[in-house]
């Protein structure tokens, strides 16, 4: 059964969206003409002043809610406009690639998002409305965010290959250097980009800009504000916050720098193919790799064009009564379950660590005692009856270490490739700025 699902957190997707009603009635045609105008053209698409201002207000509200200092309007508009341009060119590429998120898939993702925040979809809608957020606009922004992620996955992440030799070398290096692969770093990041085929002058200009930013920080400017003002990285509007990364997930350039940094300290400008980076070590911690695993089995049934949701629920209630009366779980799973991945295994899902299943399923699984059978419950995949067979505390096995090394190397390589790919598509796009409009 494929129950993996993208991690969708309401906070990470919750752009504070406020639609400003423009109910302006005037006989002055010049005033109406000045109400909106084009601020930029990206390929065959335009970005309007009203659209830009709406997104600026979105980010201002988001920053205010997080207690982040909001930069001046000129800097804010520049950063937000660049974000819109990058989103727009990626959406154009996604359309050319045939990537689209249909309404059914979007609704399921929104349900999952709501569930992770202990809400129903309807209650999440009400919460957003209380915050002045138009749900339809929030929904379409979510669709765009997911579309862009899928594009990046197809164009970058899925093309990254990791050989077993790389994994072996990685593990050998960790052992030889005594590096603690369990360490995690919380980093801030400022990026000053250079073109793909940068000239000596390009590099010199970028380096000077990076040096000046570092001097401003050393003179008292906060790293967050410096990132908001000047960074060209993907997390600029988050104050350059990269979040937590394991040592294995960091580019070697970053890892070499943070190893020698104390918490709160900042690196000198570091040059890579994408430009110059300034790194701040916000925090560091070690983590243990003891995981709790659950061995479970289930019966899954779904509604379809013939069988209604209520009929499925009633059938599952009937099966639960049979189980309560001593009927063998394996026999019922083999006969009735509609999960192709576990049906032929008598419903057996094998051992699973936290996060493998969708929240609704995992919540019920975690609430059960060993050998206990759940009442019928619903997830986005259908109706389930679940039984927990065993639980264990599991240390990292060689296979787990191998898998995590592969994932870490792939993520590190993909992050580097993503920056280059974003710079490439930005350089290849036709962009025209319209700082003024016709009078």
Measured at the CA of 14, the angle between CA 8 and CA 17, to 5 degrees, comes to 150
Mutual angle of helices 135-155 and 121-130, in 10-degree steps: 110
CA 209, 212, 216, 217 torsion: positive or negative?
Answer: positive
| 237 CB burial (10 A radius; 0-12, 13-18, 19+) | buried
Q: In the prediction, which pLDDT does 288 show?
A: 58
SS3 state at 261: coil
Structure tokens at 191: 């990026």
C-alpha to C-alpha distance for 14 and 343, rounded to whole angstroms: 38
- Enter the tokens of residue 83: 């974000």
Q: Has this prediction a pTM greater than 0.85?
A: no
% pLDDT > 90, the chain? 45
Backbone angles phi, psi at 265, to 5 degrees: -90, 165
Q: Where in the chain is the domain with CATH 1.10.4030.10?
A: 10-155
CA angle 248, 407, 181 (to 5 degrees): 30
Which pLDDT score, from 0 to 100, does residue 8 have?
40
- Give me the pLDDT at residue 35, please: 64
pLDDT of residue 393: 86
- Residue 247 pLDDT: 80
29 conformational bin, left if phi > 0, alpha if psi -120 to 50, beta if neither:
alpha
The pLDDT of residue 181 is: 55
Range(s) within the chain of domains with CATH label 3.10.50.40: 181-289+399-431, 291-394
Cross-strand partners of 383: 301, 378
Q: What is the predicted pLDDT for the residue at 73?
A: 84
CB neighbour class for 202 (10 Å; exposed up to 12, middle 13-18, buried from 19): middle
Which CATH architecture does the domain made up of 10-155 adopt?
A: Orthogonal Bundle (1.10)
Query: pLDDT at position 33, please?
Result: 43
What Å distances lie between residue 39 and 78, 81, 144, 424, 438, CA to CA? Answer: 11, 9, 21, 22, 11
Question: What pLDDT score was predicted for residue 346?
Answer: 92
The topology under which CATH files domain 181-289+399-431 is Chitinase A; domain 3 (3.10.50)
Distance of CA 185 to the CA centre of its chain: 18
Query: Which among 173, 398, 403, 183 is positioned nearest to 288, based on CA atoms?
Result: 183
Q: How far is residue 248's CA from residue 403's CA, in Å, rounded to a whole number? A: 12
Query: Does the domain spanning 291-394 belong to CATH 3.30.950.10?
Result: no
Identify the segments of the chain with pLDDT beneath 70.
Answer: 1-35, 175-182, 287-289, 396-400, 435-439
Q: Which two tokens stand for residue 210?
A: 């990076």
| 167-178 confidence digits (pLDDT tens) | 888 887 776 654
């Amino acid at each position: 059964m494929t129950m993996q699902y993208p991690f969708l957190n309401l906070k990470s997707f919750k752009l504070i969206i406020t639609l400003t009603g423009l109910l302006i009635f005037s006989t002055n045609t010049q005033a109406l003409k000045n109400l909106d105008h084009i601020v930029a053209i990206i390929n065959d698409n335009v970005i309007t002043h009203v659209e830009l201002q709406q997104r600026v207000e979105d980010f201002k509200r988001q920053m205010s809610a997080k207690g982040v200092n909001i930069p001046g309007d000129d800097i804010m508009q520049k950063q937000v406009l660049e974000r819109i341009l990058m989103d727009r060119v990626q959406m154009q590429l996604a359309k050319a690639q045939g990537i689209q998120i249909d309404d059914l898939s979007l609704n399921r993702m929104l349900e999952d998002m709501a569930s992770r925040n202990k809400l129903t979809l309807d209650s999440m809608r009400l919460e957003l409305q209380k915050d002045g957020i138009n749900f339809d606009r929030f929904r379409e922004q979510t669709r765009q965010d997911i579309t862009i992620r899928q594009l990046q996955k197809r164009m970058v992440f899925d093309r990254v290959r990791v050989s077993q030799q790389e994994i072996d070398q990685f593990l050998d290096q960790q052992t030889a250097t005594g590096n603690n692969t369990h360490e995690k770093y919380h980093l801030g990041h400022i990026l000053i980009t250079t073109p793909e085929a940068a000239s000596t002058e390009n590099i010199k200009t970028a380096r000077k800009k990076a040096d000046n930013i570092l001097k401003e920080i050393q003179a008292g400017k906060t790293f967050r504000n410096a990132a908001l003002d000047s960074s060209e990285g993907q997390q600029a509007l988050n104050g350059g916050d990269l979040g937590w990364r394991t040592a294995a997930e960091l580019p070697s350039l970053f890892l070499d720098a943070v190893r020698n940094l104390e918490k709160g300290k900042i690196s000198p400008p570091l040059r890579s193919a994408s430009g110059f980076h300034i790194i701040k070590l916000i925090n560091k911690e070690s983590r243990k790799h003891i995981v709790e695993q659950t061995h479970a089995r289930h019966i899954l049934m779904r509604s379809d064009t013939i069988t209604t949701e209520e009929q499925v629920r009633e059938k599952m209630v009937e099966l639960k009564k049979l189980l309560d009366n001593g009927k063998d779980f394996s026999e019922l799973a083999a006969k009735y379950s509609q999960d192709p991945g576990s049906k032929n295994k008598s419903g057996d899902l094998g051992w699973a660590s936290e996060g493998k299943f969708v929240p609704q399923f995992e919540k019920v699984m975690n609430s059960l005692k060993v050998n206990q059978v759940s009442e019928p419950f619903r997830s986005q995949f259908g109706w389930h009856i679940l039984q927990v067979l065993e639980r264990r505390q599991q240390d990292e096995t060689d296979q787990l270490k191998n898998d995590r090394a592969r994932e870490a190397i792939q993520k590190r390589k993909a992050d580097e490739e993503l920056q280059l790919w974003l710079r490439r598509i930005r350089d290849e796009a036709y962009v025209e700025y319209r700082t003024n409009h016709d009078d």
